[in-house]
Amino acid sequence: MDFDDTREEAEFRAEARAWLEAHTTLRQPDDAPEPGMGDEASQDLVARAKDWQGIKADSGWACITWPEEFGGRGASAIQNVIWNQEEGRYRTPPNIFTIGQGMLGPTIMAHGSPTQKERYLKKMLRGEEVWCQLFSEPSAGSDLAGLRTRAVRDGDDWIVNGQKIWTTGAHYSDYGMLLTRTDPGAPKHAGITYFIVDMSSPGIDIRPIRQINGATGFNEVFFSDVRIPDGNRVGAENDGWRGAITTLMNERAAIGGGGAGLGIKELIQLLRTTPYGDGVALDDDGIRQKLADFHARSTGLQYTGYRTLTALSRGQTPGPESSIGKLVGAPLRQEMAAFALEVLGAAGTITGGDLAMEHGAWQRMYLTMPGLRLAGGTDEILRNIIAERVLGLPAEVRVDKDKPFSEIPH
Amino acid sequence: MLRSDLGEPMNFDFSEDQKLLQKTARDFLESNAPLALCRSVLESNETYSSSLWKGAAEMGWLGAVVPEEYGGAGFGHLELSLLAYEVGRALAPIPMSSSVYLATEAILLAGDASQRERLLPPLADGSTIGTYAVAERRGPVTPGAIETRFENGRVSGAKVPVADAQAAQLAVIAANEAQGLSLVVAHLDHPSVTRISLPCIDGSRDQGRIEFSGTPAERIGAPGAGAELLAQIQHRAAVLVAFEQLGGAERAFELTREFCMQRYAFGRPIASFQALKHRMADMYCALELARSNAYYGAWALHHDAPELAEAACVARISATEAMHLATTEMIQLYGGVGYTWEYDCHLFYRRSQWLGLLLGSLPQWRERLVQALEAS
Ligand SMILES: Cc1cc2nc3c(=O)[nH]c(=O)nc-3n(C[C@H](O)[C@H](O)[C@H](O)COP(=O)(O)OP(=O)(O)OC[C@H]3O[C@@H](n4cnc5c(N)ncnc54)[C@H](O)[C@@H]3O)c2cc1C
């Protein structure tokens, strides 16, 4: 048991670091925070992210786990972790390509046609084209296979009508991965077809939705007689659920506990500097107990991550047990933010100006974490995954599984 | 805090050799320490299982970290952590914590060459059981509240509660002298020692009271170094006890899962009810966080790292929480049978409190953790 890289890992880290050193500069403690998940992506940010992605691609540092034929370098999962750690230490724009590169790209690799791979993957890797995930619908979230957006065959095209919702980044995306209902007479999982859709197609109407944190990260996307050529079908007709599973499995790997942001260190800083009774908040017994509880849960998660890294380093693939990261991490960070506000008292309501700690980042975290608890699987869905796929407990009773989709009440 | 310049650890697991040792321990305990053994000590007047203690000695566990020159196996703390884990899984009714994690560790840490040479071999071969006699009253142990005195090579005072007070032949004692609090060692077979067993929440383990009246004793460590030594010993023991707690929590959880899979209600296994699935998912999460923190504790203990205090605290806190959760839920998920003397749930429920209070309770460890964070 040790904390060191293997020799190959250390060499790889040094190589990554040398390249980053030559192309950007180290992040500094007083740098303004970059927007995170669920924050707004401005035009300027999209442009900066695309520029940086191009620079990485030119040197072979984009999508490093992808096979060489698609522009990657066939790097291992552990090398990817090392790369992300190193890149995170430098001044780089936030990655707006994760949904495409982390979830949709691998789906195209697994189920796409040779023409699709050739046409889309390189540009996805270079960040020239941004992608979004058109899965959820107003009446199909956790129960994704209940989706109702219709696609009907018309010669060499498909005509799509319906509505998607919560589509992160649709407003700056060039392409989307779309799940549609193509056979309402079949059971719900058996009548779905998966498409690539050009977001500039006539008949697509994108309406931003404002989130509780004030940002507009996601959208409603309406489809009215949108034509999609059959060549954009991913996988066989009515076999789209198979591709959806590939996407969702990659999503689990892509969304963690929320990564960077405020943590125990910043919380201690807040407790040390907030006047409380005759001293500061950190003197209070009740507060100290709570701080210890947060810290023990945080380290528990951090070292669970180390155990995953160890497994990756040995060439194993993490399975459903990695759901623990978001299931524990997101509520923990929500609780920590709420606690920080509580300690600040009435001043906890102030989100800017001198009274606000960390430029109001605690309040932003408080307003952002509820979304992280929903996105990519709610707490309940993650508990079901752990119960069924890790612990082997019986699956939920599904009353609608074998019925024709058209007969399912909704 | 961590060796972060080189990045994050890539080998955060035990080695194959270590896992083999663990497997041997599990096999041994499966044959020699079924839960019926724990129950038999609980139901008898015995304070521990002497046959299992002998077996553990023959397996080399008691001197696992004692150097070979003193009759030990010369393993490290990573190996001992895994042994503790297995002892915890088996709810083994033996004085591992008192003798191995506390008394032996104290002498290894503070004893001089001659003391190590005299005191360690009988501890390592199990012929002497050690204990740790520090507390004198209710509530947290604070060095300032210790009234036991050490003067002219003799110790006087009453210690309570003392785990394994009846079984032990040797005690590491906290006592005051002119220079302040010190640690001393005394043999308990002296006529000046009186001891009694006290009724205990976990009857498969023992608590008692020991009174010393001018008992011959020798100091370990520097005079006045007691408070600092106590803290170090507690941190070391906390990591090892955390592995016992982790093992106990894991076994309770496994049994609960199996029970829920075969118990039917409303025409289906109760394990198919979402309310119970989610409670088990939460037990699993608590167990995994505790496992990860315990690994970190083992790493820090093995390397005697500057992070040991913090690592011991987080290991202790989450292992205590995980075992409390697993054993409390165990009874509820079993239903009525879980509340019977006949079923084994209460063995786990009792042991969880015994281990959870042995080195001080959760609020005390949370406070210690914050002190460690403030210092770092
Ligand atoms: C910030 C954010 C970004 C998102 N980005 C995208 C995106 O880019 N693309 C996309 O397609 N989607 C996206 N989503 C949608 C997200 O996947 C869904 O919101 C999520 O799956 C929940 O679905 P729902 O909103 O329909 O809620 P519902 O599924 O209706 O859930 C409502 C409640 O019912 C509970 N529930 C549902 N089923 C069960 C069950 N079987 N057992 C127990 N409880 C259950 C849920 O846990 C929840 O508490 C995003 C969501 C958020 C918040």
Distance from CA of A113 to the nearest CA of B (A): 37
Same domain, yes or no, for B253 and B272? yes
- The reply to whether residue A393 touches residue B261, judged by beta carbons under 8 angstroms, is yes
Distance A369 CA to ligand 1 centre (A): 14
Domain extent listing, chain A: 7-96, 131-242, 260-390
Position in ligand 1 atom list of the atom nearest CA A170: 8
Residue (of B85, B75, B93) closest to B17 by Cα position: B75
In DSSP notation, B260-272 reads: HHH-EETTEEGGG
In the predicted model, is pLDDT for residue B317 greater than 70?
yes
Query: SS3 for A25?
Result: coil
Give the closest of A264, A291, A393 to B277, CB-based: A393
* Residue A37, pLDDT score: 53
Residue B199 vs residues B92, B93, B96, B218, B344: alpha-carbon distances, Å: 19, 16, 20, 30, 20
Residue (of A231, A209, A212) closest to A222 by Cα position: A209
Name the pLDDT band for B6 (thresholds 50, 70, 90).
very low
Residue (of A95, A111, A104) closest to A48 by Cα position: A95
Give the closest of A13, A295, A382 to B314, CB-based: A295
Q: Using one digit for the tens of pLDDT, what is the confidence trace for A25-64? A: 998 877 777 766 556 677 888 999 999 999 999 999 999 9
Q: Using one digit for the tens of pLDDT, what is the confidence trace for B271-281? A: 999 999 999 99
Percent of chain B whose pLDDT exceeds 90: 94
Distance from CA of A377 to the nearest CA of B (A): 15
Give the closest of B9, B317, B363 to A3, CB-based: B9
The packing angle between helices B226-262 and B308-334, to 10°, is: 30
- Chain A residues in contact with B272 by the CB 8 A cut-off are 393-397
Q: Which residues pair with B198 in a beta bridge?
A: B207
In the predicted model, is pLDDT for residue B2 greater than 50?
no
* Residue A316, pLDDT score: 80
Token pair 């034929």 is found at A69
Please identify, among B223, B258, B282, the residue that sits at the C-terminal boundary of a domain: B223
Position in ligand 1 atom list of the atom nearest CA A370: 53
Contacts for A54 with CB less than 8 Å, ≥ 6 apart: A126, A127, A128
Q: Whose CA is nearest to atom 38 of ligand 1?
A: A142
> Six-digit token pair at B335?
């239903």
- The reply to whether residue A1 touches residue B299, judged by beta carbons under 8 angstroms, is yes
* Residue A18, pLDDT score: 97
Are the C-beta atoms of residues A76 and A207 closer than 8 Å to each other?
no
Residue B51 C-beta-side C-alpha neighbours within 13 Å: 9
Residue B280 C-beta-side C-alpha neighbours within 13 Å: 31
**Dihedrals φ, ψ of A192, to 5°?**
-110, 140
Are the C-beta atoms of residues B322 and B249 closer than 8 Å to each other?
yes
Mutate to test the interface with B, among A303, A304, A322, A379 (most CBs of B within 10 A): A303
Distance B113 CA to ligand 1 centre (A): 65
DSSP code at position A394: P
Give the closest of A282, A293, A309 to B12, CB-based: A309
Q: Do domains A7-96 and A131-242 have the same CATH topology?
A: no
Mean pLDDT, residues B11-15 taken together: 87
Give the Cα separation of A91 and A93 in Å (integer). Answer: 7
Give the Cα separation of B40 and B46 in Å (integer). Answer: 9
> Six-digit token pair at A207?
């309406």
Are the C-beta atoms of residues B256 and A391 closer than 8 Å to each other?
no
Q: Using one digit for the tens of pLDDT, what is the confidence trace for A98-125? A: 999 999 999 999 999 999 999 999 999 9
Element (H, E) at B322: helix B308-334
**Dihedrals φ, ψ of B122, to 5°?**
-70, -25
- The reply to whether residue B289 touches residue A391, judged by beta carbons under 8 angstroms, is no
At the top level of CATH, the class of A260-390 is mainly alpha
In DSSP notation, A230-242 reads: GGGEESSTTBHHH
| Residue A251 bears catalytic tag | yes
Mutate to test the interface with A, among B8, B254, B282, B325 (most CBs of A within 10 A): B8
* Residue A56, pLDDT score: 97
Q: Which residues pair with B170 in a beta bridge?
A: B130, B187
Q: Quote the domain boundaries for residue B23.
A: 2-124
- The reply to whether residue B7 touches residue A297, judged by beta carbons under 8 angstroms, is no
DSSP code at position A194: E
Q: Using one digit for the tens of pLDDT, what is the confidence trace for B344-370? A: 999 999 999 999 999 999 999 999 999
Number of domains in chain B: 3
Mean pLDDT, residues B258-271 taken together: 98
DSSP H helix total and E strand total for chain B: 12, 9
Asked, as a colleague might, if the bond just before B161 is cis with ω within 30 of 0, I would say yes
- The reply to whether residue A296 touches residue B269, judged by beta carbons under 8 angstroms, is no
Q: Could you tell me how many residues make up chain A? A: 410
**Dihedrals φ, ψ of B286, to 5°?**
-60, -40
Same domain, yes or no, for B67 and B100? yes
Same domain, yes or no, for B137 and B264? no
Same domain, yes or no, for B49 and B88? yes
**Dihedrals φ, ψ of A163, to 5°?**
-140, 135
Q: Using one digit for the tens of pLDDT, what is the confidence trace for B53-69? A: 999 999 999 999 999 99
Q: Just give the CATH number of A131-242.
A: 2.40.110.10
Same domain, yes or no, for B236 and B353? yes
Mean pLDDT, residues B3-18 taken together: 66
Q: Which residues pair with A175 in a beta bridge?
A: A131, A198
Are the C-beta atoms of residues A39 and A260 closer than 8 Å to each other?
no
Are the C-beta atoms of residues B348 and B327 closer than 8 Å to each other?
yes
Give the Cα separation of B316 and B367 in Å (integer). Answer: 12
One-letter identity of residue A21 = E
Size of interface A-B (CB pairs under 8 A): 171
Give the Cα separation of B336 and B324 in Å (integer). Answer: 19
Contacts for B174 with CB less than 8 Å, ≥ 6 apart: B133, B134, B143, B146, B148, B181, B182, B183, B226, B230
Q: Just give the CATH number of A7-96.
A: 1.10.540.10
Give the Cα separation of B197 and B347 in Å (integer). Answer: 20
Same domain, yes or no, for B214 and B235? no
Residue (of A241, A286, A262) closest to A401 by Cα position: A241
Give the Cα separation of A90 and A97 in Å (integer). Answer: 18
* Cβ atoms within 10 Å of A192's Cβ, excluding its own: 27
Same domain, yes or no, for B205 and B72? no
**pTM for the model:** 0.94
* Residue A283, pLDDT score: 98
Query: What is the distance of C-alpha A55 from the center of its chain?
Result: 23
Are the C-beta atoms of residues B195 and B212 closer than 8 Å to each other?
no
Same domain, yes or no, for B254 and B316? yes
pLDDT in tens, chain A (410 residues): 777 778 888 999 999 999 999 999 998 877 777 766 556 677 888 999 999 999 999 999 999 999 999 999 999 888 888 898 899 899 999 889 999 999 999 999 999 999 999 999 999 999 999 999 999 999 999 999 999 999 999 999 999 999 999 999 999 999 999 999 999 999 999 999 999 999 999 999 999 999 999 999 999 999 999 999 999 999 999 999 999 999 998 886 655 444 557 899 999 999 999 999 999 999 999 999 999 999 999 999 999 988 888 887 787 877 888 899 999 999 999 999 999 999 999 999 999 988 888 889 999 999 999 999 999 999 999 999 999 999 999 999 999 989 999 999 88
Q: Which residues pair with A276 in a beta bridge?
A: A279
Are the C-beta atoms of residues B91 and B351 closer than 8 Å to each other?
yes
Same domain, yes or no, for B31 and B98? yes
Give the Cα separation of A238 and A258 in Å (integer). Answer: 34
In DSSP notation, B209-256 reads: EEEEEEEEEEEESSTT-HHHHHHHHHHHHHHHHHHHHHHHHHHHHHHH
One-letter identity of residue A229 = P
The CATH code of the domain that includes B18 is 1.10.540.10
Q: Which residues pair with B131 in a beta bridge?
A: B171
Same domain, yes or no, for B111 and B161? no
Contacts for A248 with CB less than 8 Å, ≥ 6 apart: A144
Please identify, among B223, B238, B265, the residue that sits at the C-terminal boundary of a domain: B223
* Residue A4, pLDDT score: 75
**Dihedrals φ, ψ of A345, to 5°?**
70, -145
Using the CB atoms, write b or e for B155-173: b if 16+ within 10 Å. Answer: bbbbbbbbbbbbbbebbbb
Same domain, yes or no, for B35 and B120? yes
Q: Whose CA is nearest to atom 16 of ligand 1?
A: A375
Give the Cα separation of B76 and A155 in Å (integer). Answer: 73
Enumerate residues lining ligand 1, CB below 6 A: A 38, 133, 135-136, 141-142, 166-168, 218, 371, 374-376, 378, 380-381, 396
The CATH code of the domain that includes B276 is 1.20.140.10
Q: Which residues pair with B175 in a beta bridge?
A: B182
* Residue A39, pLDDT score: 64
> Six-digit token pair at B309?
């205090």
DSSP H helix total and E strand total for chain A: 13, 10
Same domain, yes or no, for B205 and B184? yes
Residue (of B283, B34, B358, B155) closest to A387 by Cα position: B283
Distance from CA of A108 to the nearest CA of B (A): 31
